[in-house]
Amino acid sequence: MILVSGATGFVGSYIVCELLRQNKKVRALRRLSSSLNEFEMVCKIQSITPQQLEQLEWFNADVLDLGDLELAFYGIDEVIHAAAIVSFLPSQQGMMQQVNVEGTANMVNLALHFGVKKFGYLSSIAAIGRSINGAAINENTKWENSEHNTAYAETKLAAEMEVWRGIQEGLNAVMVNPGVIIGACDFTKGTGKMFETAKNGLKFYTPGVNGFVDVRDVVTILLQLMQRNISGERYILVSENYPFRQFYDEACTAFSQPKPKFNTPRWLGSLGYRLLAIRSVITGKAPLLTKETTHAAYQQYAYDTTKIKQTLGVEFISVKDTIDWTCSWYR
């Protein structure tokens, strides 16, 4: 029996569905308030049958509620911890600290207590240091404290520290650090909003570059690492280092929209997030841009995936193929 946290989210839904496709028994964590809409969508995308769904057991528990969480661990052989809050809103920083860090500590402690055979943690490239000389970032790039580090990145790094602590205490664990994860999903949130933006058309782009990866690759690689005799390692998962302009060029083309033509100067981006912040205060709705997301839109990051390629010999799905597949499902 495999326990999966964050099972109603984007990546968690794909993890559960892939395990069901492999005829594994799954106990999936969900909060009582969590919607199953995205999970049901992914089941349709992955063609999960009613017979496969019989291998799934939903368990109501929050990663911050030790009482219920402990009950979820009974009879569990392996754990995949994918629960996290991804946000760049200042109002969400406290909740990210709780869920991303304290929740991970709870999962690690219970995994140690119950002696699970393997623990897989879904981290992020945000938890890896940034190169200051333009060199490609790898798993050993040193983290540097900076005002430009997002609160999300800091909580994911702290969560990794909890997993490393568990490894020191005997936990058999492995971590993956995916880039910007894209794929068919709920297009009203997360990276799905990028496709929603392209579908509606846009005129402006920013010069940033980041690492992108297909959600199916993330899940496949994580599950392969769970099956290998590998512990105490983390792996960057990035298909390609992709310019945001190229991403939107291809997504807009797939939606029969004109490509964005105008490079947004940094001063205009800074003005934009400030104006949206004011509108957010007036309307009570979350802003489309924040200081953190605006800064990221102008950064050019490159990631080195040599380690995972040498370990598993993987070939990533191209970003263009992922864009085409995702836009096709959106339509």
Contact 202, 195 (CB under 8 A): no
The structural domains of the chain, with segments of one domain joined by +, span 2-182+211-241+302-319
**Residue (of 154, 165, 96) closest to 130 by Cα position:** 154
Structure tokens at 242: 């992709």
pLDDT recorded at residue 88: 80
Stronger pLDDT, 209 or 275, i.e. the higher one: 209
pLDDT recorded at residue 302: 93
pLDDT at 129 over 90: no
Tell me the angle at which helices 319-330 and 192-200 cross, rounded to the nearest 10 degrees.
Answer: 70
pLDDT recorded at residue 177: 97
Q: What is the pTM of this model?
A: 0.94
Q: Which fold has domain 2-182+211-241+302-319?
A: Rossmann fold (3.40.50)
Alpha carbon distance 284, 85 (integer Å): 20
For 32-74, what is each residue's pLDDT tens digit? Answer: 888 999 999 999 999 999 999 999 999 999 999 999 999 999 9
pLDDT at 286 over 90: no
For 133-184, what is each residue's pLDDT tens digit? Answer: 668 999 999 888 887 788 999 999 999 999 999 999 999 999 999 999 999 9
